[in-house]
Amino acid sequence: MSENNQLYNFSSNNNLLAALEAFLFLYGEPIEKEKLCKIFGVSLQEIKEALNQLAEETKQEKRGIMLVEKEETYALVTKPQFAPLLEAFVKENLKEELTPAALETLSIIAYFGPISRAQIDYIRGVNSSFTLRNLLIRGLIERKTKGNFYLYQPSFELLKYLGLSKIEELPNFQKFSEIKNSLFQEENQRENKN
């Protein structure tokens, strides 16, 4: 992320505010302000000011999203008054079959889970936030908190739907476990040291 700081000048609060909004929209999950400081290479005070300004701006009636704070973490979410519209869209979307992107993401989680969104994005090469939300809503995956991020894993509903008593019964599960271990070997070594 530090390379990005060279591409953008956050000397003006408007630049930081716009970049912060874009980042929170893309990130799609709660994030701590200390982490935001590191990402943007700015002080805690500058992040606090930008978050406060973003919160004020998203309170305006003409905006469809708002900034939510919980226990020093922040996320952009849709406003409650749009819940009926969004709920209808999601319900209609859930009636449809899984998209290729959803099937791909579900397969990665089934074989490599528990896995972080960053790891899923790395494997797929694209942002998976929307797809993960759809799979969570359908009950095919579940997430648990580990430190300051989420890990995604197959749900009991998925096992039931596939007729499996345990995830290890998936075809070629052992082969994919070895691939996962080699893909994330460095990360696993760091975790084992801690």
pLDDT score at 105:
94
- Please check whether residue 86 lies inside any domain of the structure: no
Q: Give the count of domains, the chain.
A: 2
Structure tokens at 61: 């009636």
Task: Give pLDDT tens digits for 110-151.
Answer: 999 899 998 999 899 998 988 998 898 888 999 988 877 889
Q: Do both 39 and 113 map to the same domain?
A: no
- Please check whether residue 138 lies inside any domain of the structure: yes
Q: Do both 102 and 186 map to the same domain?
A: yes
Q: Do both 109 and 155 map to the same domain?
A: yes
Q: Name which residue leads in pLDDT, 186 or 20.
A: 20
Task: Give pLDDT tens digits for 39-74.
Answer: 888 899 999 999 999 999 988 888 888 888 887 888
- Please check whether residue 106 lies inside any domain of the structure: yes
- Please check whether residue 87 lies inside any domain of the structure: no
Alpha helices per DSSP H over the chain: 2-7, 13-27, 33-40, 44-58, 83-95, 100-112, 117-124, 129-138, 156-162, 173-183, 185-193
Cβ–Cβ under 8 Å, residues 54 and 17 = yes
Confidence of residue 3 (pLDDT cuts 50, 70, 90): very low
Domain closes at, from 44, 79, 114: 79
What distance in Å separates the CA atoms of residue 17 and residue 34, rounded to the nearest whole number? 16
Q: Do both 189 and 146 map to the same domain?
A: yes
pLDDT score at 53:
92
What range defines the domain where residue 49 resides? 2-79
pTM of the model: 0.54
Confidence of residue 27 (pLDDT cuts 50, 70, 90): confident
